[in-house]
Amino acid sequence: MLPRGSVKALSDFVRAAAQAERAEIAVERALPGDAVRAHYLMTADISGGSLAGRHALVLRGQAEDRTLASAEEFAVRQAAFGAGLTTPEPLWLEPNGDVLDKPFMVLRHATGTADAAELQRDLPVEEGDRLAYRLGQELALLHRIGIEGAPAEIAFLARPEADWAQRRAAEWRAALDGIATPQPCFEWAINWFADHAPAIEYFALCHRDLRLGNVVAEGERLAGILDLDEAGWSDPMEDLGWFCARGARRGLPEREAGGIGSREALYDGYKDAAGRDVDDRRVRFWEIAAAIRQGIAALQRAARPAGDAEQGLGAMLTGLQSIEAEYDLLLEIEHFMAEAT
């Protein structure tokens, strides 16, 4: 929990940011699922100004190992929220670490559960399909933000180069250089990725980490899409591939859309909102890319120093999941190539 002095500083920050006469913050609890940053649910009692009243808010601190820093993620969230994405409204940013020891943002709280296991357990097939359909619609909405004519606040996002696939392959190879054990399977899959990456005609703003765990829902009702700190310009089909990747389905691989609904429901939602068909083959390509990315991330997690024995055990077991990603890669690349002949 935040120390008492920090809560007072936070109240002062909210009062100033909300242009209120008075603001009192009560930190309710730490939010689960994110061990690498401060992440708290809090109640704000605000007097005066346009936000007078009681609000459930989330304080989201900066994590060190993500693509986007807090200020960048905040800008992406503003652009996405402005485009109509169902995501908690971003309210205020503290970019300098002057109030707490690190930068943070304050968001409205989305009511529901982000517990992937709970969502999977409680959603019957039909409701899961309806949630997958909604998520397809949401991705189509996000992907309307194209690289050309993008909002000024996200102009900082790196524009992909013509050799984007080679660059991504080079990043993965550099990551493997930091792993102590040789990884011939990932090396082979990275070569395959670089050799088979499609040309991208339309670069859209992509979430790049949409999966259960980053979705808040109450039953089939979508309450919010979370965590845009991996966002960037990419092929829109990458988001669908990431969501459908086998490693994202957790214990329900037969529910091919994120372990929650059918692939068809996700595609239908996307198609209905985007007004164009989903390119299934391209989604399958990105599922293979997702397995490479997930597998390397698992190896990296195992290689990082752990805080205590329990965290160390968790990191080791996560590292071993890279073997499942390898197995997926080998079978899925074989299938992908067989489909082409």
Partner 1 sequence: MAHDPLLPSGPAALLQRAIETLRARLLPLAVEKPDHDAALAALRALAIAQAELASDPAIVGRELAEIEALLGRTFEGDAGAARRTLAQAIRARSLPSDGPTDVRLRDYLLKATANRLRLTNPKYMTRRKRRAESSY
By CB under 8 A, tell whether 313 contacts partner 1.
Answer: yes
By CB under 8 A, tell whether 254 contacts partner 1.
Answer: yes
Q: Is 304:315 a contact under the CB 8 Å cutoff?
A: yes
Q: Is 242:210 a contact under the CB 8 Å cutoff?
A: yes
Q: Is 163:194 a contact under the CB 8 Å cutoff?
A: no
Structure tokens given for 158: 């790196």
Q: Which is nearer to partner 1, 99 or 179 (CB)?
A: 179
Taking the complex as a whole, how short is the minimal distance between the CB of residue 17 and partner 1, in angstroms? 34
Q: Which is nearer to partner 1, 26 or 331 (CB)?
A: 331
CA angle 224, 202, 167 (to 5 degrees): 95
- The only residue of 66, 144, 173, 282 in contact with partner 1, by rule CB under 8 A: 173
Q: Which is nearer to partner 1, 126 or 334 (CB)?
A: 334
C-alpha to C-alpha distance for 176 and 133, rounded to whole angstroms: 36
Q: Which is nearer to partner 1, 213 or 232 (CB)?
A: 213
- The only residue of 94, 220, 230, 326 in contact with partner 1, by rule CB under 8 A: 326
C-alpha to C-alpha distance for 170 and 167, rounded to whole angstroms: 5
- The only residue of 134, 250, 263, 293 in contact with partner 1, by rule CB under 8 A: 263
* Number of residues in contact with partner 1 under rule CB under 8 A: 32
- The only residue of 8, 159, 304, 335 in contact with partner 1, by rule CB under 8 A: 335
By CB under 8 A, tell whether 94 contacts partner 1.
Answer: no
By CB under 8 A, tell whether 340 contacts partner 1.
Answer: no
Torsion angles phi and psi, residue 229, rounded to 5? -85, 5
Q: Is 220:207 a contact under the CB 8 Å cutoff?
A: no
By CB under 8 A, tell whether 125 contacts partner 1.
Answer: no
**Helical H segments across 115-262, by residue range:** 116-122, 125-143, 164-177, 184-196, 236-244
By CB under 8 A, tell whether 277 contacts partner 1.
Answer: no
By CB under 8 A, tell whether 327 contacts partner 1.
Answer: yes
By CB under 8 A, tell whether 122 contacts partner 1.
Answer: no
Taking the complex as a whole, how short is the minimal distance between the CB of residue 329 and partner 1, in angstroms? 9
C-alpha to C-alpha distance for 63 and 313, rounded to whole angstroms: 21
Q: Closest Cα to residue 85, out of 131, 30, 143, 43? A: 143
Footprint of partner 1 (CB under 8 A): 173, 181-185, 187-188, 190-191, 246, 253-254, 256, 263, 284, 310, 313-314, 316-317, 320, 323-324, 326-327, 330-332, 334-335, 339
